[in-house]
Structure 1
Amino acid sequence: MPRAPRLTQQHIARLAGVSQATVSLVLNGADPALARIPAETRERIQKIIRDTGYVPDPIARRMAQGANRILGVFTYEPAFPSAQADFFLPFLFGIEEEAQARGYDLLLLTGSRGANQAGGRKIFAEGNRLRLADGCLVLGRHFDHDELTRLVAGDFPFMAIGRREDAGAPVPYVGADYASATSALVQQARELGHRKLAYLGALGPAESPADRWRGFQAALGADLELVLQQQDTRAPDGELLDAVRARGATAVFCVELADALRLEAAARARGLALPDDLSLVALGSHERVEAHATRFASFLIPREQMGRDATAALVLRIERGAGQPVHQSLLPCDPIRGETLGPAPR
């Protein structure tokens, strides 16, 4: 059975004997514009709308008002596989909550791979598809610097989640204050009597590990000695523990929770007790610390709040237009006391 054609404003205008512009004003117009249309005409149009069951096209209505009220969400890595879920989902919860509160819909953009790229999503591989939305939130462990430079140079409203270095000009972002949170953990180790520390994990170039390393260095003083700093942690678990013990480190700071878990397993296999024989600290993580049996000394990354704040800042930029100051903010990370950082062994 053929599908009935969808009613349009043109159909309503023909039935009412008025122009389509008049129908549009009755549906969308503000009071001053409506006052110019006779009451009898308005009532006739409204009756036809009721009788026919006409429903305005929400997309066309938004476009007529100059905006779709749609926010894009672009992730450089897949957002939903289980390996990524703990990283992206809290951000998405915050984004969805704030978008709904502000009357915006969300559009998840997966991008595409560049013509010569074996992998990795690209914003600009086939033009700027972000423009399907009024503005976009960009997330990922690693951003493409060239794409970020193009975004900054353009006029499309966007907000990065996570601190980003300048890309030809300041990048709008909402991030987490990893540097201060890391410094606070080093200070806690100092107060517990630790004097020889190890640091395992990347120092950069991405902003997140760079901030952690900067915070760690800032907290060191003449009374603390960094006896082991190792970026490549792919050695077997036992060898990694041997390196820590050989240097006399009593507290180990791990950039990744996975390395802290490996060291913990190796230590327990040798009969070492945490934190009596060795203290372990996880500098936040891409996984929720509370999901593991051991509660590591760490800090809580405010992912949901980052999503909410970034969404609010993006909406403000869209609704107020260009010319606003570039929004950059870092949210504090709450400490997690945990059970793996204790007094230094005698």
Structure 2
Amino acid sequence: MSGTRRRVTQRDIARISGVSQATVSLVLNNRLDAGVRIAPETRERVLDAIRSTGYVADPVARRLADRYNRIVGVFTYEPVFPSGTRDFYHPFLVGIEESAERLGCDLLLLTSAPVQDGRRRIFAEGSRIRLADGCVLLGRDLDRGDLTRLLAEGIPFVSVGRRDDAGGPVPYVGADYPAATAALVRRAAALGHTGVAYIGSGAGPESFADRLRGFNAAAAGLDARHLPEAVPAALDAAVAEGVTALFLEEPADAPAVTAWARAKGLDIPSDLSLVALGDPTRPVSFDLDVTGFTIPRREMGRQALDVFGALLEDAETDTQRLLPCELHDGTTLTGRNRP
């Protein structure tokens, strides 16, 4: 037998037996808890594939069950419990908790990290990150130095949200903001809007840059502009120059933009259309059903734990995932009724 023959993996067993890799893992670990039910014929099919291939679980691939504490750290760069942000972060945490329960892991919320230069630091003196088997990272803007060190030291981690490379590919589960934003720009163009504006920084966190990239790609050929802030002077100039649809990077700015429009005698949407690029990151009170998209926050949390578990087990999986956003029709994007 050649010494270079590829080792049979759980992924191979899943393909041969026609089940998911998660099912193979459950059969191997004899997991019947948490309400998991595997049909006897399915279990036998997996066992037959194991016997026929001579599959032997690599001890390294069993680390989650046999060598680790089964504790997943959750590190947040921003507070997630104050009233100003809890509604935005709550679905992420629910998804993380659901997957942790299914994987049989406990969650450790890493709250003792001190704030340095206005930000929490994972590797500050006294950090307890190594109490956990690794961590899931939450936050709009992650520290690149932390990401680089996590990769360099081989600490298993997954970011909730797409992240640029930091000395190597960063494992993440993010939202496909470019595709969702581009779809809404194309919808506006199809409704007759030729003047469009993106309101927001479009820089800094990857989520902002992704939205602006999607906007620019779809707005090619339109009279498109970028307004870094939703300030009255900039909005006045944009509308005077023919902008008829505004795309908000921060949906929580919608009430302020609407108040400005009403003060100018502009009706939304007949005079000016409004599109929200995601979910508000702070609570807002609003009387319009804003057109836009919703972020798959709960599913992002769920899959972040799935990727984390795969990293611990050395299982083959896609460690960089972008999930589709769901477009929301709303009532604030309509066709042009005037030239």
State the TM-score, normalized to the length of structure 1: 0.75
- Separation in structure 1 between the aligned mates of residue 323 and residue 66 of structure 2, nearest angstrom: 35
Q: 1:320 to 1:229 in 2, by over 3 A?
A: closer
Q: Which runs of 4+ in 1 moved over 4 A?
A: 62-65, 288-291
Equivalent position amino acid for 1:169 in 2: G
| TM-fit CA distance, 1:221 | 2.9
| TM-fit CA distance, 1:189 | 0.2
The residue aligned with 1:158 is 157
- Separation in structure 2 between the aligned mates of residue 209 and residue 317 of structure 1, nearest angstrom: 28
> Is the aligned partner of 1:339 residue 2:331?
yes
Identity %: 51
- Separation in structure 2 between the aligned mates of residue 122 and residue 202 of structure 1, nearest angstrom: 25
The residue aligned with 1:182 is 181
Q: 1:63 to 1:337 in 2, by over 3 A?
A: closer
- Separation in structure 2 between the aligned mates of residue 71 and residue 240 of structure 1, nearest angstrom: 46
Correspondence for 1:232 among 220, 229, 242: 229
Equivalent position amino acid for 1:225 in 2: D
Equivalent position amino acid for 2:75 in 1: F
> Is the aligned partner of 1:220 residue 2:219?
yes
- Separation in structure 2 between the aligned mates of residue 297 and residue 206 of structure 1, nearest angstrom: 23
2:162 is paired with a residue whose SS is coil
2:90 is paired with a residue whose SS is helix
1:134 is paired with a residue whose SS is coil
Given that residues 181 and 214 in structure 2 are in contact (C-alpha distance below 8 angstroms), is that contact kept between their aligned partners in structure 1? yes
- Separation in structure 1 between the aligned mates of residue 264 and residue 220 of structure 2, nearest angstrom: 32
Equivalent position amino acid for 1:90 in 2: P
Equivalent position amino acid for 1:167 in 2: A
- Separation in structure 2 between the aligned mates of residue 104 and residue 64 of structure 1, nearest angstrom: 10
| TM-fit CA distance, 1:282 | 1.1
**Which residues of structure 1 form unaligned runs of 5+?**
1-61
> Is the aligned partner of 1:283 residue 2:277?
yes
Equivalent position amino acid for 2:106 in 1: D
CA offsets per residue over residues 285-340 of structure 1, 9 Å max, x none? 3438997431111101000000000101101211337xx56600000001011111
> Is the aligned partner of 1:329 residue 2:329?
no
> Is the aligned partner of 1:315 residue 2:309?
yes
Q: 1:216 to 1:203 in 2, by over 3 A?
A: same
The residue aligned with 1:295 is 289
1:82 is paired with a residue whose SS is coil
Given that residues 201 and 229 in structure 2 are in contact (C-alpha distance below 8 angstroms), is that contact kept between their aligned partners in structure 1? yes
Equivalent position amino acid for 1:107 in 2: L
**Which residues of structure 2 form unaligned runs of 5+?**
1-62
- Separation in structure 2 between the aligned mates of residue 284 and residue 97 of structure 1, nearest angstrom: 23
Given that residues 111 and 122 in structure 1 are in contact (C-alpha distance below 8 angstroms), is that contact kept between their aligned partners in structure 2? no
State the TM-score, normalized to the length of structure 2: 0.76
- Separation in structure 2 between the aligned mates of residue 63 and residue 203 of structure 1, nearest angstrom: 39
The residue aligned with 1:71 is 72
- Separation in structure 2 between the aligned mates of residue 197 and residue 163 of structure 1, nearest angstrom: 26
Q: 1:306 to 1:180 in 2, by over 3 A?
A: same
Query: Map of 1:7-46 to 2, 5 A cutoff?
Result: none
CA offsets per residue over residues 122-164 of structure 1, 9 Å max, x none? 0001265221111210110111111110011111111011000
| TM-fit CA distance, 1:176 | 0.3
The residue aligned with 2:41 is none
- Separation in structure 1 between the aligned mates of residue 110 and residue 104 of structure 2, nearest angstrom: 19
Q: 1:262 to 1:291 in 2, by over 3 A?
A: closer
1:199 is paired with a residue whose SS is strand
Q: 1:308 to 1:253 in 2, by over 3 A?
A: same
Q: Which has the larger radius of gyration?
A: 1
Correspondence for 2:245 among 230, 242, 251: 251
Equivalent position amino acid for 1:332 in 2: P
- Separation in structure 2 between the aligned mates of residue 185 and residue 331 of structure 1, nearest angstrom: 17
> Is the aligned partner of 1:242 residue 2:240?
no
Q: 1:232 to 1:287 in 2, by over 3 A?
A: closer
CA offsets per residue over residues 204-257 of structure 1, 9 Å max, x none? 1220010001101111232x111x321133x3xx43431232221011111111
Q: 1:288 to 1:119 in 2, by over 3 A?
A: closer
Given that residues 161 and 174 in structure 2 are in contact (C-alpha distance below 8 angstroms), is that contact kept between their aligned partners in structure 1? yes
- Separation in structure 2 between the aligned mates of residue 307 and residue 261 of structure 1, nearest angstrom: 29
- Separation in structure 1 between the aligned mates of residue 178 and residue 337 of structure 2, nearest angstrom: 27
